[in-house]
């Protein structure tokens, strides 16, 4: 390489690795990761993307990035439980609990005696305190796992009776019939898509029936000429035939919420006669990803002792976050769900004034398969549609809603403490 070749001015690898910038990052990044970043900065200079004198600055910038590919995002869509954004944001208390549980903790140890204990006892107790209708509780790693464990325990190799109108498809193409079939249970479909009657359940019961399953079709609605059977009605049939009644709620609501009056909750469902309910922890409950099982002590204990329970158990971080969520104050999810429309309008007006946007009525949504079709009245700031890509890749990243030829910024799910950051991000995207 000739002295005139610009590449000769590229800093040497050993010099870069010995630099103060790399040394400062060594506490967060391992040696292999540091070498990759050094090599990447050098390669940019070799390819002519940057000048050799810029290598140190580019390397320094890359060293400041978080040690994970997951980027924090300001949710400006108005969708409270946004699956693509990780569903429910954790509360400050839950975040503190995760940090505290990151090291060694007594997750399966009784400290006074030094003996091994059962996993997740304090999270279980917190669930039972929040849902007194339940005799026992169990936490697994997600809602689908809770349903799989329940159907495997109750009906492996046998039939599960379920209405055709409740054979839902959940996210990413996963379908309830396929999920249950994977457990070794056989679905006995009854009724039609729009109408199922109590007699359909009664007539389907036979010597090979293992359980009755009712699924809340939380991500769609069927209106018009419809009929379904309530949990209380099914209780009578289940009792007469000595069958367990399993109800999958999905959304994780523990008690009735007047904002979404038709969304079933665990307490009411158990009081109506369900033996077991399953739900997700990272939806309306506002906690971490977890599967929640509540109900009859005998059945839940059987589930906890099933070999599959080991494969779907929750880790210490989820248990800590769930317990803190249950014992803590109002979650960010609940705060967004119950956001005051007048205050949202005031915040939107301030953003619009700073960005030359227009405040327009905008309905938020529950999301995550909860309360489909139920509007959450509020407001948004309407900006040019072509602003959305710049917002998504900005710092901070902002996810707006693109609709009707506009880029809509809904502040329902943006913490008020982040309003200034959001405004700065929009102003930067506008190029001002």
Q: Among residues of the chain, what percentage have pLDDT more than 90? A: 82
For residue 208, what pLDDT band results from cuts at 50, 70 and 90? very high
- Is 68 a residue whose pLDDT tops 90? no
Question: Which of 174-183, 206-215, 348-357, 385-394 is the least confident region?
Answer: 174-183
For residue 341, what pLDDT band results from cuts at 50, 70 and 90? very high
Residue range(s) defining the domain that contains residue 259 = 92-328
Domain end call among 270, 299, 328? 328
- Is 2 a residue whose pLDDT tops 60? no
Residue 283's pLDDT is what?
95
**Does residue 270 share a domain with residue 163?**
yes
**Does residue 176 share a domain with residue 119?**
yes
- Residue 44 CA to residue 52 CA, distance in Å, equals 9
Q: What is the DSSP string of 320-332?
A: HHHHHHHHSS--H
**Does residue 376 share a domain with residue 302?**
no
Phi-psi region of 175 (alpha: psi -120 to 50; beta: other; left: phi over 0): beta
Question: Within 13 Å of residue 198, how many CA atoms lie on the same side as its CB?
Answer: 10
Q: Judge whether 68 lies within some domain.
A: no
Q: What is the DSSP string of 77-111?
A: SSEEE-GGGTSSPPPHHHHHHHHHHTS---TTEET
**Does residue 422 share a domain with residue 309?**
no
Residue 171's pLDDT is what?
66
Domain end call among 302, 328, 354? 328
- Is 1 a residue whose pLDDT tops 60? no
Residue 180's pLDDT is what?
84
Q: Write the CATH number for 397.
A: 3.90.1150.180
Q: Judge whether 118 lies within some domain.
A: yes
Numbers of helices and strands, H then E, in the chain: 18, 16
**Does residue 172 share a domain with residue 36?**
no
For residue 218, what pLDDT band results from cuts at 50, 70 and 90? low
pTM of the prediction? Answer: 0.90
**Does residue 140 share a domain with residue 107?**
yes
**Does residue 305 share a domain with residue 172?**
yes
- Residue 130 CA to residue 123 CA, distance in Å, equals 11
Paired strand residues for 81: 367
Which has the higher per-residue pLDDT, 195 or 220? 195
User: Domains in the chain: how many in total?
Assistant: 3
Domain end call among 300, 328, 356? 328
- Is 22 a residue whose pLDDT tops 70? yes
Average pLDDT over residues 339-355: 97
Q: What is the DSSP letter of 113?
A: T
Question: Which of 56-65, 177-186, 307-316 is the least confident region?
Answer: 177-186
**Does residue 373 share a domain with residue 236?**
no
Round the average pLDDT of the chain to a whole number and report it: 93
**Does residue 259 share a domain with residue 172?**
yes
Strand 136-140's sheet: what is its strand order? 136-140, 291-295, 276-280, 245-250, 209-215, 159-163, 186-190
**Does residue 363 share a domain with residue 289?**
no
Residue 78's pLDDT is what?
97
Q: How many CB atoms lie within 10 A of CB 421?
A: 15
Q: Write the CATH number for 283.
A: 3.40.640.10
For residue 4, what pLDDT band results from cuts at 50, 70 and 90? low
Pairing verdict, β 79-81 and 358-367:
parallel
**Does residue 178 share a domain with residue 240?**
yes
**Does residue 413 share a domain with residue 341?**
yes
- Is 220 a residue whose pLDDT tops 70? no
| Helix (H), strand (E) at residue 58 | helix 55-63
Residue 370's pLDDT is what?
83
């Amino acid at each position: 390489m000739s002295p005139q070749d610009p590449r000769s001015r590229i800093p040497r690898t050993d010099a870069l690795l010995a630099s103060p910038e790399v040394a400062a990052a060594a506490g967060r990044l391992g040696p292999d990761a540091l070498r990759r970043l050094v090599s990447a900065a050098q390669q940019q200079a070799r390819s002519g993307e940057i000048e050799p004198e810029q290598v140190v600055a580019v390397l320094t910038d890359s060293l400041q990035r978080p040690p994970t590919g997951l980027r924090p995002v300001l949710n400006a869509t108005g969708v409270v439980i946004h699956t693509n954004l990780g569903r429910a944001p954790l509360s400050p208390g839950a975040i503190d609990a995760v940090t505290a549980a990151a090291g060694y903790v007594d997750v399966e140890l009784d400290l006074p005696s030094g003996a091994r204990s059962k996993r997740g006892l304090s999270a279980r107790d917190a669930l039972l305190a929040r849902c007194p209708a339940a005799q026992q509780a169990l936490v697994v790693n997600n809602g689908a796992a809770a349903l799989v464990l329940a159907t495997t325990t109750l009906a492996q190799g046998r039939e599960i009776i379920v209405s055709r109108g409740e054979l839902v498809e959940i996210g990413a193409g996963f379908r309830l019939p396929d999920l249950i079939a994977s457990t070794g249970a056989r679905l006995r479909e009854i009724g039609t898509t729009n109408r199922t009657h109590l007699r359909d359940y009664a007539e389907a019961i036979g010597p090979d029936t293992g359980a009755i399953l009712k699924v809340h079709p939380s991500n769609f609605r069927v209106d018009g000429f419809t009929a379904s059977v309530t949990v209380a009605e099914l209780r009578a049939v289940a009792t007469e035939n000595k069958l367990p009644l399993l109800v999958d709620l999905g959304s994780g609501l523990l008690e009735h919420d007047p904002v979404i009056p038709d969304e079933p909750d665990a307490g009411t469902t158990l009081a109506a006669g369900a033996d077991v309910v399953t739900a997700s922890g990272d939806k309306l409950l506002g906690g971490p990803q977890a599967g929640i099982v509540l109900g009859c002590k005998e059945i839940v204990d059987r589930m906890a002792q099933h070999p599959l329970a080991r494969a779907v158990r929750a880790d210490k971080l989820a248990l800590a976050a769930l317990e803190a969520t249950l014992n803590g104050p109002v979650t960010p999810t609940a705060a967004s769900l119950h956001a005051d429309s007048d205050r949202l309008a005031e915040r939107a007006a301030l953003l619009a004034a700073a960005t030359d946007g227009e405040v327009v009525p905008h309905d938020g949504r529950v999301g995550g398969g909860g309360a489909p079709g139920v509007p959450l009245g509020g407001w948004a700031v309407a900006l040019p549609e072509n602003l959305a890509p710049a917002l998504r890749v900005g710092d901070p990243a902002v996810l707006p809603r693109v609709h009707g030829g506009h880029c809509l910024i809904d502040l329902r799910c943006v913490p008020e403490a982040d309003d200034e950051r959001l405004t700065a991000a929009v102003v930067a995207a506008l190029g001002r």
